């Protein structure tokens, strides 16, 4: 067989090996992203549950009613929630359903990066295009950074995938030869087919560009990467640029068409476009702007690759750099190679992409923030692969081991780095005690307990949790189990007097409810509900049986009937000894609920002094919704006694003589007080107060 016949077979064999390696890498990526997906991260974090609730709601709505932007939870682009809604229709509610979309995106990032690397490789001057592409697909599996956000039920992983596909399609379109001159008829027909093929990839570029605006905020910065690329192409590849103008026009038209709905939304709702950025930026905000804050951020972000990384345990092993000690040197070498050839088209694109995609963390608080820097992952991976390729080329020139040996050494480094990342995630990070609070494990376990009980007992939770989306998501598929009644027990307690009740108290936050309830419910059973990973108590459960005794031993009875189903049972007063200026006066009011109030009312407690002529003079007072808003009257249930505490500071020169407290409710809308039977001024007079 001639050498000419042997070469195609040899190339085909290499291609089959390359495709086989890519298939294996993708299978590994799927395993790495989906293994223990429903249990690691543990629990279900607030943002994940919020997305899950939105996905569940959209799954039960006609598609034409799906919004392009979701305003809840500080505003979110909707594409990820759309995909999750489709998965909810197929798989139902579960932690796996919430995390499956980012996990799949994270797995597909491996072949996507291999494609991107293959397309850009000729412009980067790499010697082994196939190995460069495979290294890029493998290197992303070595990033703990990418692993975390591929298993996190938010929209970041989707953004990175679409961003990568955008650049891959763009370089594919750019690589096509757009010229067609002096060709015969057969060649001309073939060239026309190639033009159509090229236009398809330019259209795909526009599609991915338009879709990116439905993913995550950094997508709005992508045009800043394109701008220097177009300028450089005008100077270096003008003929190619002009030949590709039809393709560029197609891509731009498709991008505008796809992004038009969310663009129109932002024009109509400009606040939605800027709200989150305004919340986190360090620019133009007192105390965090200026050269000093920006300088500190630049230092922190520059050091995140090999020094100190993100400190948030939800995003990282706190402080672990974005690159491990095996890959960091090659990232540095790749960066040096790109800087040394910065005027070249692809190298300029790499550098511009890295800098632009790091801007969200450079210009915001808590740098380095891996979540905000997520768009830099494709550029970091390519720089690592470029460094590996450069190291192989350099070593091949300096020593005689042979390029094959150095390529094997490069693969050994990548495999070792992958092993470090696997261990860091599935062993070190998985056993981190900080994951318990970071991923709302306590709320997840409470929700599971509520769903498992299903015994019709009324449930309360303090001081937070009533509106927590983690509870709401897990209970959504159990419509027979209502969300727990909520209150902040540090200022207000809701006491069920006529039904069995179950209370969950977060002991590290609510210091008062446990002691108060065990005194009121002498027959209640108190048990441990949730224990943190470090062994400390997170939540207790107090069970009041049906018909159990209810005792308000410290209350001073003073019954009074108000309107709208509310009555006063009595009070407790805590006047400070000596009553001097600045002291805090506490009053605890016991409100009985005879019927569900129709509105939200504001409670008041006023300190009054009666002068020698019998006239009333207000000295101080407190007006606020019960429990600082945590016990709104519209949520009160018949049969409850609501214990509300109001406090105010004593004024200077408290006069001698009789001092009283008056209490009651009024509507914040029209300032009208709830009627109090037997009074002219619709308030209950308490006192005189011992001094």
Let me know if 206 is exposed, middle or buried by CB neighbors in 10 A (0-12, 13-18, 19+): buried
Burial classification of residue 209, based on how many CB atoms lie within 10 Å of its CB (0-12 exposed, 13-18 middle, 19 or more buried): buried
What pLDDT was estimated at residue 189? 53
CB burial class (10 A; 0-12, 13-18, 19+) of residue 474? buried
Q: What would the two tokens of residue 655 be? A: 């006069």
Please give the span between the terminal C-alpha atoms of the chain, in angstroms, as a whole number. Answer: 113
d(CA 584, CA 651): 10
pLDDT for 29 equals 98
CATH code 2.60.40.10 for 556-686 = yes
Instruction: Evaluate whether 588 touches 519 at the Cβ level (below 8 Å).
Output: no
Q: What is the pLDDT of residue 250?
A: 96
Q: In terms of Cα–Cα distance, which of 309, 305, 307 is closest to 384? A: 305
pLDDT of residue 652: 79
Q: Tell me how far apart the alpha carbons of residues 293 and 279 are, in angstroms, rounded to a whole number.
A: 16
**pLDDT score, position 397:** 82
What does the pLDDT read at residue 285? Answer: 56
Tokens of 685: 């007079």
The whole-angstrom separation of Cα 681 and Cα 402 is: 98
- Whether the CA torsion 165, 167, 168, 169 is positive or negative: it is positive
Cis amide leading into 461 (omega within 30): no
The mean pLDDT values, 10 residues at a time, for the chain of 691 residues are 47 74 96 97 96 96 94 93 96 96 98 97 93 97 98 97 98 78 51 79 97 96 93 91 94 97 94 76 58 82 95 96 97 97 95 97 92 97 97 83 80 96 98 96 94 86 89 88 91 95 94 94 95 94 95 93 95 76 84 95 89 79 91 95 88 77 93 91 85 63
- How far apart CA 418 and CA 144 sit, in angstroms, is 9
Cβ partners under 8 Å of residue 171, min gap 6: 116, 119, 120, 123
Residue 192: CB atoms within 10 A of its CB come to 12
Q: Report the run of H or E that residue 132 belongs to, with start and end.
A: helix 129-139
Cα(447)–Cα(460) distance, rounded to whole angstroms? Answer: 12
Report the alpha-carbon distance of residue 503 to residue 506 in Å, rounded: 10
Question: With contact defined as beta carbons under 8 Å apart, do 144 and 316 qualify?
Answer: yes
Give the residue extent of every domain in the chain: 21-429, 447-544, 556-686
- The predicted pLDDT at position 691 comes to 63
């Amino acid at each position: 067989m001639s050498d000419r016949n042997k070469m195609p077979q040899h190339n085909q064999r290499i291609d089959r090996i390359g495709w086989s390696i890519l298939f294996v890498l993708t299978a590994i990526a799927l395993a790495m992203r989906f293994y223990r997906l429903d249990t690691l991260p543990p629990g279900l974090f607030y943002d994940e549950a919020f997305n899950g609730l939105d996905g569940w709601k959209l799954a039960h709505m006609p598609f034409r009613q799906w919004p392009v932007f979701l305003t809840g939870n500080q505003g979110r682009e909707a594409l990820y929630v759309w995909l999750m809604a489709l998965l909810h229709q197929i798989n139902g509610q579960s932690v796996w359903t919430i995390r499956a979309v980012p996990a799949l995106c994270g797995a597909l990032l491996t072949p996507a990066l291999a494609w991107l690397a293959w397309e850009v490789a000729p412009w980067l001057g790499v010697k082994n295009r196939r190995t460069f592409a495979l290294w890029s697909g493998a290197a992303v599996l070595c990033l703990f950074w990418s692993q975390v956000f591929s298993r996190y039920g938010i929209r970041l992983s989707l953004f990175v995938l679409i961003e990568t596909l955008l650049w891959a399609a763009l370089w594919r379109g750019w690589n096509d030869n757009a010229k067609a001159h002096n060709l015969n008829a057969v060649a001309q027909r073939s060239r026309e087919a190639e033009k159509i093929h090229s236009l398809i990839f330019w259209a795909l570029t526009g599609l991915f560009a338009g879709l990116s605006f439905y993913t995550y905020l950094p997508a709005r910065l992508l045009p800043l990467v394109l701008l220097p690329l177009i300028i450089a192409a005008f100077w270096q590849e003008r003929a190619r640029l002009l030949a590709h103008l039809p393709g560029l026009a197609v891509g731009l038209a498709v991008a505008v068409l796809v992004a038009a709905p969310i663009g129109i939304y932002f024009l109509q709702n400009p606040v939605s476009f800027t709200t989150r950025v305004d919340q986190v930026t360090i620019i133009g905000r007192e105390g965090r702007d200026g050269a000093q804050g920006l300088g500190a951020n630049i230092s922190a972000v520059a050091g995140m690759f090999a020094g100190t990384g993100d400190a948030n345990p939800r995003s990282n092993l706190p402080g672990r750099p974005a690159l491990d000690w095996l890959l960091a040197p090659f990232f540095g070498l790749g960066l040096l190679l790109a800087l040394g050839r910065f005027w070249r088209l692809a190298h300029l694109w790499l550098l511009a992409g890295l800098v632009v995609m790091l801007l969200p963390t450079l210009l915001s608080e808590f740098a380095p923030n891996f979540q905000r820097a997520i768009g830099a992952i494709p550029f970091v991976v390519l720089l690592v692969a470029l460094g590996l390729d450069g190291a192989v080329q350099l070593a091949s020139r300096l020593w005689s081991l042979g390029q094959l040996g150095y390529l094997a050494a490069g693969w050994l480094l990548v495999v070792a780095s992958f092993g470090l990342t696997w261990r860091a995630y599935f062993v070190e990070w998985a056993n981190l005690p900080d994951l318990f609070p970071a991923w709302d494990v306590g709320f997840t376990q409470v929700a599971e307990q509520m769903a498992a009980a299903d015994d019709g007992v009324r449930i309360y939770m303090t001081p937070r949790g009533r509106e927590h989306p983690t509870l709401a998501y897990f209970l959504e598929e159990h419509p027979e189990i209502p969300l727990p009644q909520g209150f902040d027990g540090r200022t207000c307690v809701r006491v069920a007097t006529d039904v069995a009740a179950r209370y969950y108290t977060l002991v590290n936050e609510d210091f008062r409810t446990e002691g108060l309830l065990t005194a009121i419910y002498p027959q209640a059973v108190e048990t441990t509900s949730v224990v943190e990973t470090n062994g400390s108590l997170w939540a207790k459960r107090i069970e009041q049986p049906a018909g159990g005794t209810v005792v308000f031993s410290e209350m001073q009875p003073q019954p009074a009937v108000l309107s709208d189903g509310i009555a006063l049972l009595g009070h407790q007063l805590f006047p400070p000894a000596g009553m001097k200026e600045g002291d805090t006066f506490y009053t605890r009011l016991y409100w009985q609920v005879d019927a569900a109030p129709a509105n939200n009312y504001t409670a008041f407690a006023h300190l009054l002094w009666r002068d020698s002529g019998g006239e009333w003079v207000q000295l101080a007072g407190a007006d606020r919704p019960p429990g600082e808003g945590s016990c709104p009257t519209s949520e009160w249930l018949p049969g409850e006694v609501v214990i509300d505490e109001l406090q105010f500071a004593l004024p200077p020169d408290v006069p001698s003589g009789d001092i009283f407290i008056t209490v009651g409710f009024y509507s914040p809308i029209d300032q009208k007080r709830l009627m109090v039977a037997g009074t002219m001024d619709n308030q209950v007079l308490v006192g005189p107060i011992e001094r």
